[in-house]
Chain A
């Protein structure tokens, strides 16, 4: 890639018409080829897989018998229907719950005088960073019908009620609680941007605070509510970890877990998996498109005369009620699962006879951690995860910079296609990227399959839209004239990028690479289909432990992963903040 960019850009700093005329098309061509290789080729192979019945490993590509019938057969399959409707039910229910929680939170944080609002706002975002599988595992430990910790507590208190999180309602609850922040992000910013006099006018007109909320406030931010719920639905639809942990014990398959099941069969049903993956992708694409439509539509709440003077609603004694609501949420979503993981990881046996046995010190030990680290795969997976993370960050960051610059800063023809190709993965769930890459490389001998690179490239493709978007924002902040001034001073295109654009965009570049790194090390969905025993990563190994049935080891490794993630997140945040401060005056 570096080689292509070196030849594709005008090599000299002098502006001569001849090389420029060839430089731009060459550069655009190179970018298009790279993107086609990363995005289009795997997708084409996925379609190819869905339309054929040949096994790429056994048959090679010689015996390609394309037929739409094959794809239609899969769509007619009852198990596929079941997985499809299970997915709709789980994600639909989860979304409704997420809207209720997210909306309540944004109202509490933006519109009321609830104490410690900053803390509430920050803490309620934590669920976004919890890997789905870890959340699923923790809630399995808490809410399994027989040994669940919550049920032990209920039994001790004497309440005749038992939780069962290995169920559709368990799935919905966990989805709703953990993906509420997506709704919150949209609705909170909509509430913040709303002209407060719209609400004041209602109050002066004689409506009560409650009436105002439901006749003015919520209808006004309806587009944001819709956009947030569509996004959280799409994210839930693509999640593998939660349904794998909570749905599998109860035999509830959703699309993602069903796809993986197909490839884990012996012999693996790669063609069927490809067909179901396409179904998942189409549903996702439609929803993403709908969400973009909602977002680009005319936004209501932006008529503004003067700067807003936010007037938080004085709740009086009720503010302690809203405060405790927030605390309960944070307790249930962050504290409880963490406690569950800690207990399960340190107890020799998870079976807890009664509540008092919970505090029996003899029952606790490091035995699960020891056995996790005795396994050579553990260190290998951590090492691999770091390698994949760094590779993804570097390759993805560089590519996103090239794409972002070309799309936002130049007038070359073909930049629209580059933009389109780079944004396409937004509609492809991680798991589908995994299946597509599997199809793209498994049949090619001596290719990428089985190396760490296939994971990194899949991640680069999967997270390209997020990275390019983050970088584009920082390009927008650099005034075009800063660049033009350098050209006037006699700098060429490359020289200007090196001396002006790159230093000014540095905080954005560092931030995007950090984001890529974090996204890559916690990604499970696409890794599932691409790892081999040599290239296993943490997320996959955790799934292995879980499916092996040893709760203690699973919990111990979940904790290791969570602590590692938290530390890395801390370091990278600190790094990117440092970079941001270095050029705080830009823009």
Chain B
């Protein structure tokens, strides 16, 4: 089966200076949802807008459903309305001078290749039922709440069953509770309709719930594209590790590496076994990233077992955070559960080798 969306070497340069999108490659098979995740200004929204045709790429090729829609080298550019895509905008962009029904029916009325426009009413009704707005068809759109407006926007982009659905931070204007509810519902609707989707967000939780695969972007480059589990357990890069929450860093020197296993010298506390995706060589300066919740406090495991000292304890009800001093470096450790079991002072600690990820040390700038 061919990819619903294929992006090859996409480059977008606005004015002079660094390109906003810098050689991005990925594909989205039909029926899959890919999430682009990254901090603001990383180029994820620009990538999405290039796919929509709202932004004109400087280089590379974009194909939707096997048809090339944009290839600047050949002066090829298909307009947004001929790309057979749907799009949900961050600001909803529902038309305030129309009712809910008029908004949703609009694409059916104005698309050139309307497949059987006779059943507009049926399609609109079915789609409104799908997003849970069946009773709101005749309401003016301005009388709706933010969450309902976003459902209208979703219905409007689903009603004509486009080949590809683009979602540009669709939940970021909603309050926290609603965001979580709509996020889970969005996943259900997209899977129920079998939509192929490209979703852009800066929120990791959204990315993990919605994405079949997640692509982490930074400064116009796609750093890693993988299923959520892999992003969280095998981050390819110290930025990905840090951005997805591995906030502890231990600095050291590589002693030796065998395949994906590396041994790092941390100085006075000794050596640590770690996993690495990079071809580190003996003598390289390395930084080892660790998630706070992967550290075992009060346990002596078979490997990477050390002794540290709890200097501060912050009880947070459902979890406890400890600041642990460890050979001159500091670790933050998270203990789940309502009981805080460790006191200030000496404590045993195990850093399971699988959860210690070693990367080449390129300085702090590689992370911020």
The chain A residues found within 8 Å of chain B, CB to CB, are: 195, 197-198, 200-208, 211, 215-216, 219-220, 222, 298, 300-301, 303-306, 311
B residues less than 8 Å from A203 (CB atoms): 54, 79-81
Instruction: Tell me, in angstroms, the Cα distance from A219 to B99 when the chains sit together.
Output: 13
The answer, among A195, A204, A220, for a CB contact under 8 Å with B87, is A204
- Asked if B106 and A202 sit within 8 Å, CB to CB, the answer is yes
- Asked if A205 and B95 sit within 8 Å, CB to CB, the answer is no
Q: Nearest-CB distance from B51 to chain A (Å)? A: 11
Interface presence of B74 (CB below 8 A): no
- Asked if B90 and A201 sit within 8 Å, CB to CB, the answer is no
- Asked if B91 and A304 sit within 8 Å, CB to CB, the answer is yes
Per-residue CB contact flags for chain B residues 97-121 toward chain A (1 = under 8 Å, else 0) read 1000000001100111000000000
Q: Nearest-CB distance from A211 to chain B (Å)? A: 6
A residues less than 8 Å from B111 (CB atoms): 205-207
Q: Which residue of B lies closest to A308 (CB)?
A: B91
A residues less than 8 Å from B173 (CB atoms): 305
Query: In chain B, residues 49-94, which have Cβ atoms closer than 8 Å to a Cβ of chain A?
Result: 52, 54-55, 79-81, 83, 85-87, 89-94
On whether A200 and B89 interact (CB within 8 A), knowing A205-B111, A206-B112, A208-B81, the answer reads yes
- Asked if B54 and A206 sit within 8 Å, CB to CB, the answer is no
Q: Which residue of B lies closest to A211 (CB)?
A: B110
The answer, among A195, A207, A220, A298, for a CB contact under 8 Å with B106, is A207
The chain B residues found within 8 Å of chain A, CB to CB, are: 52, 54-55, 79-81, 83, 85-87, 89-97, 106-107, 110-112, 142, 153, 156-157, 160, 166, 169, 172-173
- Asked if A206 and B87 sit within 8 Å, CB to CB, the answer is no
Q: Nearest-CB distance from B298 to chain A (Å)? A: 46
- Asked if B110 and A207 sit within 8 Å, CB to CB, the answer is yes
A residues less than 8 Å from B85 (CB atoms): 204
Q: Nearest-CB distance from A309 to chain B (Å)? A: 9
A residues less than 8 Å from B94 (CB atoms): 201
On whether A204 and B95 interact (CB within 8 A), knowing A197-B89, A211-B110, A305-B90, the answer reads no
A residues less than 8 Å from B95 (CB atoms): 198, 201-202, 216, 219-220
The answer, among A201, A216, A300, A301, for a CB contact under 8 Å with B89, is A201
- Asked if B80 and A300 sit within 8 Å, CB to CB, the answer is no
A residues less than 8 Å from B83 (CB atoms): 204
Q: Nearest-CB distance from B30 to chain A (Å)? A: 20
Q: Which residue of B lies closest to A204 (CB)?
A: B87
Instruction: Tell me, in angstroms, the Cα distance from A343 to B351 when the chains sit together.
Output: 93
Q: Which residue of A lies closest to B173 (CB)?
A: A305
- Asked if A205 and B156 sit within 8 Å, CB to CB, the answer is yes
The answer, among B52, B96, B110, B172, for a CB contact under 8 Å with A303, is B96
Instruction: Tell me, in angstroms, the Cα distance from A197 to B93 when the chains sit together.
Output: 6
A residues less than 8 Å from B97 (CB atoms): 219-220, 222, 300
A residues less than 8 Å from B80 (CB atoms): 200, 203-204
- Asked if A305 and B172 sit within 8 Å, CB to CB, the answer is yes
- Asked if A201 and B93 sit within 8 Å, CB to CB, the answer is yes
The answer, among A195, A298, A311, for a CB contact under 8 Å with B91, is A195
Q: Which residue of A lies closest to B84 (CB)?
A: A206
- Asked if A197 and B91 sit within 8 Å, CB to CB, the answer is yes
Closest 9 CB pairs of A and B: A206-B111, A205-B107, A305-B91, A207-B110, A197-B93, A201-B93, A197-B89, A305-B90, A204-B87
Instruction: Tell me, in angstroms, the Cα distance from A233 to B197 when the chains sit together.
Output: 51
Instruction: Tell me, in angstroms, the Cα distance from A208 to B80 when the chains sit together.
Output: 10
Instruction: Tell me, in angstroms, the Cα distance from A215 to B102 when the chains sit together.
Output: 11
Q: Nearest-CB distance from B14 to chain A (Å)? A: 10
| Further 10 A-B residue pairs, CB within 8 A, beyond A202-B110, A208-B110, A301-B96 | A201-B87, A201-B93, A204-B83, A205-B156, A205-B160, A206-B81, A208-B81, A215-B110, A303-B92, A305-B91
A residues less than 8 Å from B79 (CB atoms): 203
B residues less than 8 Å from A301 (CB atoms): 96
Instruction: Tell me, in angstroms, the Cα distance from A305 to B150 when the chains sit together.
Output: 12
Q: Nearest-CB distance from A145 to chain B (Å)? A: 46
Instruction: Tell me, in angstroms, the Cα distance from A197 to B112 when the chains sit together.
Output: 21
B residues less than 8 Å from A222 (CB atoms): 97
Instruction: Tell me, in angstroms, the Cα distance from A208 to B110 when the chains sit together.
Output: 8
A residues less than 8 Å from B86 (CB atoms): 204-205
On whether A204 and B92 interact (CB within 8 A), knowing A219-B97, A300-B97, the answer reads no
Q: Nearest-CB distance from A122 to chain B (Å)? A: 24
A residues less than 8 Å from B166 (CB atoms): 204
Interface centre among B55, B79, B166, B169 (most CB of A within 10 A): B79
Interface centre among A203, A205, A216, A304 (most CB of B within 10 A): A205
Instruction: Tell me, in angstroms, the Cα distance from A305 to B90 when the chains sit together.
Output: 6
B residues less than 8 Å from A208 (CB atoms): 81, 110
Instruction: Tell me, in angstroms, the Cα distance from A476 to B247 when the chains sit together.
Output: 46
Instruction: Tell me, in angstroms, the Cα distance from A200 to B173 when the chains sit together.
Output: 18
The answer, among A205, A216, A219, A298, for a CB contact under 8 Å with B81, is A205
Instruction: Tell me, in angstroms, the Cα distance from A443 to B110 when the chains sit together.
Output: 69
Q: Nearest-CB distance from B48 to chain A (Å)? A: 11
Interface centre among A208, A211, A219, A305 (most CB of B within 10 A): A305
B residues less than 8 Å from A215 (CB atoms): 106, 110
Q: Which residue of A lies closest to B56 (CB)?
A: A314
Show 27 residue pairs from A and B whose CB-CB distance is below 8 angstroms, ordered by the A residue.
A197-B93, A200-B80, A201-B87, A201-B89, A201-B95, A201-B153, A203-B79, A204-B52, A204-B80, A204-B81, A204-B86, A205-B81, A205-B106, A205-B107, A205-B110, A205-B111, A206-B81, A206-B110, A206-B160, A207-B110, A216-B95, A220-B95, A222-B97, A304-B91, A305-B90, A305-B172, A306-B90
A residues less than 8 Å from B55 (CB atoms): 311
A residues less than 8 Å from B172 (CB atoms): 305
Instruction: Tell me, in angstroms, the Cα distance from A303 to B93 when the chains sit together.
Output: 8
A residues less than 8 Å from B92 (CB atoms): 303
Instruction: Tell me, in angstroms, the Cα distance from A467 to B33 when the chains sit together.
Output: 58
Instruction: Tell me, in angstroms, the Cα distance from A202 to B157 when the chains sit together.
Output: 10
A residues less than 8 Å from B156 (CB atoms): 201, 205
B residues less than 8 Å from A207 (CB atoms): 81, 106-107, 110-111
B residues less than 8 Å from A303 (CB atoms): 91-92, 96
Instruction: Tell me, in angstroms, the Cα distance from A216 to B110 when the chains sit together.
Output: 12
Q: Nearest-CB distance from B169 to chain A (Å)? A: 8
- Asked if B54 and A311 sit within 8 Å, CB to CB, the answer is yes
Q: Which residue of B lies closest to A305 (CB)?
A: B91
B residues less than 8 Å from A197 (CB atoms): 89-91, 93
- Asked if B93 and A206 sit within 8 Å, CB to CB, the answer is no
The answer, among A198, A211, A298, for a CB contact under 8 Å with B93, is A198
A residues less than 8 Å from B112 (CB atoms): 206
Q: Which residue of B lies closest to A300 (CB)?
A: B96
Q: Which residue of B lies closest to A200 (CB)?
A: B54
Instruction: Tell me, in angstroms, the Cα distance from A20 to B296 when the chains sit together.
Output: 72
Q: Which residue of B lies closest to A219 (CB)?
A: B97
Q: Nearest-CB distance from B142 to chain A (Å)? A: 8
Q: Which residue of B lies closest to A201 (CB)?
A: B93
The answer, among B54, B93, B153, for a CB contact under 8 Å with A195, is B93
Q: Nearest-CB distance from A305 to chain B (Å)? A: 4
Instruction: Tell me, in angstroms, the Cα distance from A198 to B92 when the chains sit together.
Output: 8
Instruction: Tell me, in angstroms, the Cα distance from A304 to B87 when the chains sit together.
Output: 17
Q: Nearest-CB distance from B252 to chain A (Å)? A: 41
- Asked if B107 and A206 sit within 8 Å, CB to CB, the answer is yes
B residues less than 8 Å from A216 (CB atoms): 95
Instruction: Tell me, in angstroms, the Cα distance from A207 to B106 when the chains sit together.
Output: 9
Q: Nearest-CB distance from B197 to chain A (Å)? A: 14
Instruction: Tell me, in angstroms, the Cα distance from A303 to B55 when the chains sit together.
Output: 22
B residues less than 8 Å from A305 (CB atoms): 89-91, 169, 172-173
Instruction: Tell me, in angstroms, the Cα distance from A305 to B81 when the chains sit together.
Output: 23
B residues less than 8 Å from A201 (CB atoms): 87, 89, 93-95, 153, 156
